[in-house]
A and B are shown apart, each in its own frame.
Chain A
Amino acid sequence: MAGCTNDPYRSSEKGANVFYTTFNEPPKHLDPARAYSSDEYDLIGQIYEPPLQYHYLARPYELEPRNTGRVPEPLYYDKEMRALDHDAPAQRVWRAVYEIKVNKGVMYQPHPAFATDAFGKALYLGLKPQDVKDVHEIKDFRATGARELKADDYIYGIMRLADPQIESPVLSILEKYILGLKEFSDLLRIDLEEARARRRAVRGASYNQTVDEKEDPIALDYRRHPLPGVEKVDDHTFRITLKAKYPQFVYWLAMPFFSPLPREADLFYKQGPLADRNITLDRFPVGTGPYMIDTFNPNMEIVLARNKNFHEEGYPRRGEEGDLASGLLRDAGKDLPFIDRIVFKLEKEAIPRWNKFLQGYYDTSGITSDSFDQAVSVSAAGRAELTDAMKKKGIRLATSVRPSTYYCGFNMLDGAVGGYGPDKRKLRQAVSIALDYEEYIEIFNNGRGIPAMSPLPPGIFGHIEGADGVDPYVYGWDRARNRPVRKSIEEARRLMEEAGYPGGRDGEGRPLVITFDNPWTGVDASTMINWYIKRFKLLGIQLENRTTDYNRFQEKMLKGNFQFFCWGWNADYPDPENFLFLLAGPNSKVSSQGENVSNYSSPEFDRLFRIMENMDNSPERLKVIREMLSIAQRDGPWVWGYHPVAFALLHDWVGNVKSNAMANNTMKYLKIDATLRERRREGWNRPDLRPIWAIAIVLALGSIPAIISIVRKRAGKKK
């Protein structure tokens, strides 16, 4: 009993330079061509290095090269391949060429795929099941090797995106831009089908595609077909050619999809016996980054260890105003990374995660709605501050607006709520007013959100603060207090009347019933739905809830079989184009399976969108965006909803933390003070054994009657 401890780690880990954090579900893909979720990026961001990265400290977000000479400037060409100016109009641009220079001397992490024998032949190709009897992890291979990063690796990585077996989630988008990618991927698909047909012919009726490809994966040879959009200039230079002007493309170069991938590694993992042991590229990445996978046990923990081959990279020397004062530049120029090992522990449940953070076993934590009051209080000035209990523990708070938006929308194709007539607009405006997101944020997010005026969150070009940015159909402006005021519910009711639904009843007196589609599950779902029902009821509208699982939800969205829905969007890159395209007519979900779920289509908006998407950030662009926003605000296809604000808590032994919503490779900048952490943990976690003694005493007392009765029985017998 005295040995009781709530320390979840082995005692050998005490005082080590290790960072402890969590993941809440096993990552599905660590393959950079497939990974597309933030928890996967948390891992591979530290391992793979795409050509660009976001500057850690600078704001607004700014790209910087990573193992490449500089941020590439596109060269534009017209149909005759004549060079064009940088600000050439989009319709004249025929090709856009990005040339990327790769630094020399960058080495990959040590990995068995690079291991060679005395003759330079790969050591671990052509493995048989008996060769890998004792191999359970990548660590179990005795020999490793490494080699220099080359332009070919980037090219190979892009070619893999087109491999039909990979199912890259961005292939369909990139096919629109990269020259020849579509044709290339179609040819690969034909190759794949041919390979399958050949195997089928050999096996006959007993052919089982899944089993067959499990035992012997099909390795397509990408070199058989040309990919004109990606060409190698020399060993350390390559070019990407786009079919159109697409200024946002540089942001793509900071996403893991464009990471270099050595061909050796791909071939290594395409061996049946390895796949049989779950040793795949999806679990054991091969990169040039500061960390490499040490342990991959997605059901328990994932451990990253320092990559000893990591190239030189220094902590940034400049930052935003105030970074110097807050000590964020103290380590300027020092070699990265600072921490030896990063331990990700699986924590599916919010309560244990939170409690272990408070006990000092995790170094950082988010805040759930339920632990909010314990951690944060909002000061009289309306600013979020940590509670005294947190301050006493030395915990610090970091906030950041995420580049995302949670919105609800109407189906513009629907007869009752859609359409562009003034009455329909008024109906939607009334709903927009009634859905009081100030209250919603207060109840469900503890104020961690900003009611949206348009799809553009703060920090994105085009977002306007203050009176100018307010949606005039939903808000007024309170000059005295200098803040927006939601229009009153009476005004919304009046709008309902003008829309032809006085008191929520149509001309025949039937109540207006609107169906509400959402894929919500989890503990808050029912209370959230109830909130929506309550708010609609204020207008006399009956909201009919239709919660379904995510599949059916998507299917309904695709078919346009809905009236009102709620969804969210996380930006891929910090550009207004990545938000406003959600309202562009050509992206309509029903007609072209795009991401415009409410199927909003306004010719004027679409015209401006085409202009805006090819502009650089400039006052002209801002003007176009404002025009677009006012059109959208008038039509009201969405209830704009809110932009979530992320709150993160940090213990005082963690240093160099600055929230960066775009970058995913930030762990190399972090620093910890392990001795301080050890001291704190010991102070906070003294086991309390008193109740155990109390229970023991109660049990002892409780058994007294039993003993007495035995004694009596015995005595009785003797008589």
Chain B
Amino acid sequence: MLTYIIRRILYAIPIVIGVNLLTALLFFYVNTPDDMARKILGEKNVTPAAIENWKRDHGYSLPSFINGKERGAARLTQTIFFQKSVPLLWLDFGRSDRNNIDIGSEIRSRMWASLAISLPTFTLGVFLEIVFAMALAYFRGTYLDLWGVVLGVVMMSVSALFYIIGGQYLLGKELKLFPISGYDHGIYSMKFLVLPVVIGVLSSVGVGIRFYRTVFLEETGKDYIRTARAKGLSEGAVLFKHALKNAMIPILTNVVVSIPFLFYGSLLMETFFAIPGLGSFTIDAIQSQDFAIVRSMVYLGSLLYIAGLILTDISYTLVDPRVRFE
């Protein structure tokens, strides 16, 4: 088991390096350091000399990938890529371009706000999805199933933007049940979280119900279920005892992959509800073109994705002993 995990992690290393290279290429090509300097130095009194100085002071005056002026190892190390991108490999995110903040400590402090909203949304969402999907599977073929599916499809046909705009308008402004937006620490955050969590669940539950319903239907169509039914087990028992257990693999695939991403937060929710998490951190960075932050977040996102893949593989082996560690 341990060797399996280690091998999976080793396999991820080239991917991490690939992501690193790709982002470096993209970001130093998309946004030349000159652009960055101009944007960051502001609107008034920006002279070319000031831009040159900015680049020098932020380590952007170096060549991109190979420094011809240097000798030996320095040919590679004294480059933008090596100085800005390679430290990411050992999670040294460095400083933001715009206001020199330490990105690593910023990520650590913002992570909790992201989790505070994404974790309840996710668990509540998955729970409701599975419960409703099982209910639909139980009533399959009846008009309840039909209307349930129709409702699910209708719900997933509405843009998430509408849920957010409508939710803030109705629950926050008209009914005055919750603060429209905002955040506070610890226990005080409760009242701010209800609205985004409810809206987050509403906007994703349609897709989930439909997905899990097909999973359950596929499972209940299988032979062993028929046997169970033939044995005279009640439909409820069939669903809970057999179908649910065997549907664990597709459910796990869906769930485990997303777990690491919970840290990453939600771009839309966090900006609309002014929650100081990683999602709004990223959006702000995009809008102010702080590419040191964007680069870090891209990299972090990739790491989380890869972690999700590895976790999924491991969880398979735990749920289903038939899966071997090849």
Contacts and interface: CB of A to CB of B under 8 A. Distances in A.
Interface of A: 4-8, 10, 25-26, 28-29, 36-37, 136, 164-165, 167, 169-170, 172-173, 189, 204-211, 214, 275-278, 280, 282, 297, 299-300, 345-349, 351-352, 355-356, 359, 549-552, 554-555, 593, 595, 685-689, 691-692, 705-706, 709, 713, 717
Contacts of B72: 205
Nearest to A277: B105
Interface string B84-117: 1001000010110011111001100110010000
Given A8-B182, A299-B281, A36 B102 contact: no
Q: Is the interface of A mostly helix, strand, loop or mixed?
A: loop
A189 B78 CA distance: 21
Nearest to A552: B35
A355 B173 contact: yes
A500 B163 CA distance: 55
Nearest to B86: A208
Interface of B: 35, 38-39, 41-42, 44-50, 53-54, 57-59, 70, 72-74, 77-78, 82-84, 87, 92, 94-95, 98-102, 105-106, 109-110, 113, 135, 139, 142-144, 168, 170, 172-184, 188, 191-192, 234-235, 271-272, 274, 276, 280-281, 284, 288-289
24 contacts: A6-B177, A6-B180, A7-B179, A167-B57, A169-B42, A172-B50, A204-B74, A205-B74, A205-B77, A210-B94, A210-B95, A211-B87, A277-B102, A299-B113, A300-B183, A349-B271, A352-B168, A355-B173, A551-B38, A552-B35, A688-B174, A688-B175, A691-B175, A709-B142
Contact of A276 (B41, B102, B182): B102
A56 B118 CA distance: 47
B81 to A, nearest CB: 12
Contact of B192 (A4, A8, A297, A689): A8
A592 to B, nearest CB: 9
Contacts of B110: 299
Pick from A4, A173, A549 the residue with the most CB of B within 10 Å: A4
A691 B166 CA distance: 15
Contact of A709 (B45, B139, B178): B139
A256 B92 CA distance: 35
A169 B105 contact: no
A28 B287 CA distance: 14
Contacts of B94: 210-211, 214
Contacts of B47: 172, 593
Nearest to A29: B99
Contacts of B181: 347, 349, 352
A348 B271 contact: yes
A164 B192 contact: no
Nearest to A356: B180
B274 to A, nearest CB: 6
Contacts of B59: 208-210
Contact of B87 (A6, A208, A280, A554): A208
A351 B168 CA distance: 9
Contacts of A705: 143-144
A352 B274 contact: yes
A689 B177 contact: yes
A167 B41 contact: yes
A297 B105 CA distance: 13
Contacts of B77: 205-208
Given A164-B57, A277-B102, A172 B168 contact: no
Contact of A6 (B46, B144, B172): B172
Given A352-B181, A686-B176, A210 B102 contact: no
A207 B74 CA distance: 9
B178 A4 contact: yes
Given A29-B99, A205-B77, A709-B139, A10 B45 contact: no
Given A189-B53, A275-B102, A554 B274 contact: no
Given A4-B177, A210-B84, A554-B46, 12 more contacts: A8-B182, A170-B45, A208-B77, A276-B102, A282-B100, A299-B113, A345-B182, A348-B280, A551-B35, A554-B38, A555-B35, A692-B175
B116 to A, nearest CB: 12
Nearest to A170: B45
Given A169-B42, A278-B105, A10 B87 contact: no
A685 B106 CA distance: 35
A4 B176 CA distance: 8
Contacts of A554: 38, 46
Contact of B176 (A277, A551, A685): A685
A595 B44 CA distance: 8
A172 B52 CA distance: 14
Nearest to A164: B53
Contacts of A689: 175, 177
Contact of A167 (B54, B95, B180, B184): B54
Pick from B74, B105, B177 the residue with the most CB of A within 10 Å: B177
A207 B87 CA distance: 12
B100 A346 contact: no
Given A210-B94, A278-B105, A299 B179 contact: no
A362 to B, nearest CB: 11
Contacts of A6: 172, 176-180
Contacts of B177: 4, 6, 687-689, 692
Contacts of A551: 35, 38-39, 289
A173 B47 CA distance: 11
A249 B157 CA distance: 62
A709 B144 CA distance: 9
Contacts of B46: 554, 593
Contacts of A210: 58-59, 83-84, 94-95
A173 B288 CA distance: 25
A580 B147 CA distance: 69
A687 B170 CA distance: 12
A349 B283 CA distance: 13
B176 A359 contact: yes
A278 B102 contact: yes
A120 B142 CA distance: 85
A41 to B, nearest CB: 13
Contacts of B54: 167
A195 to B, nearest CB: 12
Nearest to A553: B38
